[in-house]
Structure 1
Amino acid sequence: MTRPAIRHAGENRAALQAQRAPSALAVESGIAAGLAPAFAERAAARDLYLTPPWGGRALWHYALPELRGAVVADPCDGLGHLSGAIADVADRVLVSDVEPWRPGVGVADFLAPGAWEGLALTALGATGVDWIVANPPYGAGRPEAFLERALELGRAGLVRRGVALLVRASWREGQARHALFERSPPAAWWHFAERLPMALARFTGSTATAYAWVVWQFGPDGRPVAPPGGHPISAAIPPGARKLLQRPGDPDAALPSPSAERQARARAELWRVAAAEDGTVLYRPARRGQARRLDRDQAVAEALRLLAPGGESDTDLAAALLAAADHARQLAGQSEEDEG
């Protein structure tokens, strides 16, 4: 059987393949976290953001149980954390990347015509794969190019069942992408209710960015099947997924959860407010912003904003911490008087 030729995806593919100047901020933060400068620049140029393994397991646990026993390809393997999570349930995972980040991984530019196909057909024969699962680069136009490429491979019969991409949740927005989704409708969006922390070439305990798994399911002709009613499923990977799916051997297992980091910061801020001698405290925003002096009530309100939502439990925590700090300060004052 002769396979149909695979057409090029988009008019600006050459531009998307070109090496982009790495983000200076990403490089600086990576170096500050201990990455070698040359490696940080290389990683930033390729958008090497590591997927926490529990985020990969969430795909097959909640969104796509069809990965169990399937043949899967990850063309953006990076350091192997996502493909390792998929390998927990898949029959086989074909891994490749445009850079040789780790030994034993096929080197192929997924966007270059024929490069990935040659690797896949050599490794798997003429059968292709069931699914493509990837955390693609997030630079302008890159996720779209990866999706278009995967759709081409579906039409060519090399990807039989569908595609799942891990993207920023904001990727759902935009007029150009709306047109893309109209042409190639996703079956489901699975948003992480609990933050999925990703950082340049390393793991971190927190993030301000929201992520989602987007799934396209193919019909017999290798084209995306429109979901029932024409609207994709929109669902949440619920809070607690990290605790449920993380394993002791995972590289990010020892890091605190974002909520734990936030609560620890809030507790420290509350203690600082309570211990202030004149009842005021210098508040410096975590992000850009001018420091300002707040009175005790204002500072407590700012600290409470750091706590995970919990209504009365947050208020109770604040009251308990402030009372304890007041008591400790009173005891310290009594001790000084006794010594005098």
Structure 2
Amino acid sequence: MPVVRINAIGDTVALHRSPRSPRSVLRQTRDTQGPVIIMTHGYKYRPEDDKTCPHRHILSLHPTAMPWHCPSWPQQLGFGSGFKDEGLGIAFGWDAQGPLWAARRRAIEAGRALADLIRYLRRLNPARPIHFIGHSMGTELALEALHHIQPGSLNRIISMTGAAYQSRALSALETPAGRQAEFINVTSRENDLFDFMFEWLIQPPKPGDRSISLGLVAPNAVTLQLDCNDTLEHLSRVVFPIGDPQRRICHWSSYTRPGVLRAYNALLRQHDRLSLPILRNGVPDQPARRWSRLFALPRPNDLLPFAQKAS
């Protein structure tokens, strides 16, 4: 049982397409060796919808063929390998459709359901690390959960181009549980258009607040800008090689870029070796300015017929 499919129904949880209690299934995983990795999607996905169900796409061990590239997060994060220590994967779905403000409200509600799940997993096996990885608005679930769990309950969070405000993230990281968690803030200037739309459509908690795409300064956080050459070179040396950016605008590159999910796998499974100080030691102090990629001039090599096609 490498991956358990669970959905948030309001602020409670249910198994995906099963009447069984999630707790009865999770009890069977009590002695599973390896970490728990909770994976959640972002905007526009909705469980049970044939076209947008995340359990058929990115959260599936065997994704349904789609016209666009659809990597399996569980596979790339080490599940289904058959190794005894691969741990437990939780594919966590929630209703992320409708107007952006309504989806964000449900994300916060789903975060409380996530907190309940984390509390139960911690009671089952207190020594087992629990990590979280989420894309876009899925980051909000982890931020909300930190307000409702005990210190040490959630170990490492990877936010893939998260749709959240800086003050919201800092408030969560200042909770007792947040101070003991590590937050890896993955950003890219490829996502600038979507970050701008988020700030335009979602009212900030306070005037002048900006999204975490522009960086996050906290003792237990690090920002990794995936379209920064220095950052890519550093990650290639200490974690895993990641492909170069191919587009100027892309909302999904934080998990579709070649090698990036394998890098996250290392960050989650080798968190003691790949500490935040090691990750910081090689990346710029400040991310690049917004729109710097969109309006950058083409590189000279992009103009040569034998070079990589310009995006």
Query: By the TM > 0.5 criterion, same fold?
Result: no
Normalising by the smaller structure, the TM-score range is 0.3 to 0.5
TM-score normalized by structure 1?
0.32
TM-score normalized by structure 2?
0.35
Q: Select the structure that is richer in helix.
A: 1
